[in-house]
Chain A
Amino acid sequence: MDKRKTVSRTIATILMLAAGVAFVLPFIWMISASFKPEIDVFKYPIEWIPKHWNVYENYREVWVGEHPFAIYYWNTIKVSVITTIISVAVSSMAAYGFSHVDFKGRNAMFLLVLMTFMVPSYSIIVPQFMIFRWLQLFDSHLGLILIGSFSALGTFMLRQFFLGIHKDYLEAAKLDGAGHARIFMQITIPLVKPALATYAILRFIWTWNDYANPLIFLRSDRLSTIQLGIQKFASESGAYYSLIMAGTVSAILPLIVIFIIGQKQVIEGIAMGGVKG
């Protein structure tokens, strides 16, 4: 009986492996094309493992050539890291306020935050653009960072975890004379660290992959993020497909590395609330 189970499980695994490879075939093609000289990209039958290698030349051109990915990378890292830090700080503060501070108008304020969650981002992009131009935040990284830093989502997610902290902990600290600032920093933050990590990774990924906001709130090429840069690169460099693929591989790779390292957090975060950027 057990042996039969093992055999059927092995067969199922092999079949799934085949399905899995088919599923990621576009990625394999992308990577393989990025390694080839231009004339081999569309050769048929497809050379999955390139016969002629052109890795160094392709990636050098992409990274320091006419549309320097090195700059796009630096911009994206800067924007994503700062957005993530601000967003985690602001969201965890709000989450603490909504769960452990008992203030007048708390429910009304929470309802207000809840309501902003229902507004689709594209519905308000025009007035946002106008306001940012007026505040002179248009075409600056600061503007892009601010746009990404305030979302009700983080507040909800983290609030669940703050609510999970037992009141007794906090009451004991209060009796010792600790104020809210100290309780927040020294007691609750260490307790919700795993949730903060989960939210931070998700926020980082969303900011890294964001395309619409950089498209609308940035104009100068030197400020472009990777997503914007790679699209410009693809539409302006015409038929250099091997280079374009080297660009897309460069755009995706860091996230795949982060995902594999922070797998547990990402999957838990997604599964927990089924959150979506």
Chain B
Amino acid sequence: MIGVQAMDNTITKTEKSKRTSGVRSSMRRRETLSGYIFIGPMLIGLLVITIIPTVLTFILSFADWSFIAGIDKIKFTGIKNFTRLFNDDVFLISLKNNIYLLLVVPIQLIISLVLAVIIDKLVYLKSFFKIIFFLPYISSIVAVAICFQLLFQPSYGPINQFLRAIGVNNPPTWLADIHYALPSVMVIMVWVGIGFCLIVYMAALQAIPKDLYESADIDGAGTWTRFAKITFPMVSPTTFFLLVTGFISSFKAFDIIKVLTEGRPAYSTSVVTYYLYTTAFENLKTGYASSMALILFGFVLLITLFQMYGQKKWVNY
């Protein structure tokens, strides 16, 4: 196969070398020009919207500045922003909450893998179930958050009315309670994210060769053995992928916090993105917010590098 390709290459090469070099270089130039015309719009867009802002974030994170003050008021203070950050209780709490939120991902994965196996193998109405479990993911997080605000309402919300009706005397006040607020947010996040993981898992399950199960049947393997010995290892690259993308997107959680709790009570649900937002757009501390942004970037980059490293190991099991 490789030999054939190499032969092909030599043929085209000799063919090309027959042409005069002038024609060839003008053709190459035209090819390069068309290349840049095709990628040009995307490149310019990314330059203005992503690349320049990334560089600016990096620069501004070393400055003490507010964007309303004008560019001449900018004052570079070295790493002072960062030392301040690690003595800033609100930032540290927010970071800690982000770490707790990582817990959402494995819970999501366990539930959605179990659901995927059940829907794939054991029930009728497969595509109906896919739609049902996907609904929260497709719905806007704003609408979902507003709805849960009412469901969790401490005194007359349906959840607590139900709990009182079945004999729980002092049900927690959920989003208003410093200990229950973050877990409540996590429950909602799990609920929202299950559909996404489920769809990806179902695709992975369909890719498992059927004869693996058939030979397991011949060996008399039970449901659990089949799951533990075939299904689970076969979907492990998917699990790894979902784990990593889940971690990254949990670091980016913002909408749900902004709409549901605004970090309250007492910063118990604040996350880095939310604190960044209030610092930049409410307190107008551009430099300080940028240093937070850089740390956020660092965490996401770390997870991405971990993924690149891990992928090599996991894909071959």
Contacts and interface: CB of A to CB of B under 8 A. Distances in A.
Interface residues of A, number: 95
A212 B158 contact: no
Contacts of B142: 209, 211, 227, 230-231, 248, 251
A172 interface: no
A255 interface: yes
A81 interface: no
Contacts of A112: 43, 46, 51
Interface stretch (A54-62, A63-71, A147-155, A191-199): A147-155
B53 A90 contact: no
Contacts of A119: 50, 54, 297
Contact of A29 (B46, B124, B151): B151
Interface string A175-212: 00001110010000000000000000000010011011
B259 A231 contact: yes
Given A46-B158, A230-B146, A276-B196, A126 B140 contact: no
B42 A113 contact: yes
Contacts of B144: 26, 248
A13 B41 contact: no
Nearest to B125: A13
A28 B197 CA distance: 23
A16 interface: yes
B36 interface: yes
Interface string B43-64: 1011011111110110010000
Given A90-B45, A113-B46, A123-B294, A24 B132 contact: yes
A101 B42 contact: no
B250 to A, nearest CB: 11
A10 B124 CA distance: 7
Interface string B265-300: 000000001001100110000100110011011001
A216 B7 CA distance: 57
Interface in A230-250: 230-231, 234, 241, 244-245, 247-249
A126 B296 contact: no
B315 interface: no
B252 A121 contact: yes
Interface stretch (B15-23, B75-83, B199-207, B227-235): B199-207
A255 B258 CA distance: 22
B175 to A, nearest CB: 14
Instruction: Please indicate which of the listed interface residues A179, A208, A209 has the most CB atoms of chain B within 10 Å of its own CB.
Output: A209
A73 to B, nearest CB: 13
Nearest to A241: B150
Given A126-B289, A209-B140, A260-B131, A101 B35 contact: yes
A112 B42 CA distance: 11
B103 interface: no
A20 B53 contact: no
A43 to B, nearest CB: 9
B86 interface: no
B107 to A, nearest CB: 15
B35 A150 contact: no
Interface string A111-122: 011001011111
B57 A251 contact: no
A248 B49 contact: no
The 8 closest A-B pairs by CB, nearest first: A103-B35, A97-B38, A150-B45, A271-B203, A127-B56, A124-B53, A127-B53, A94-B42
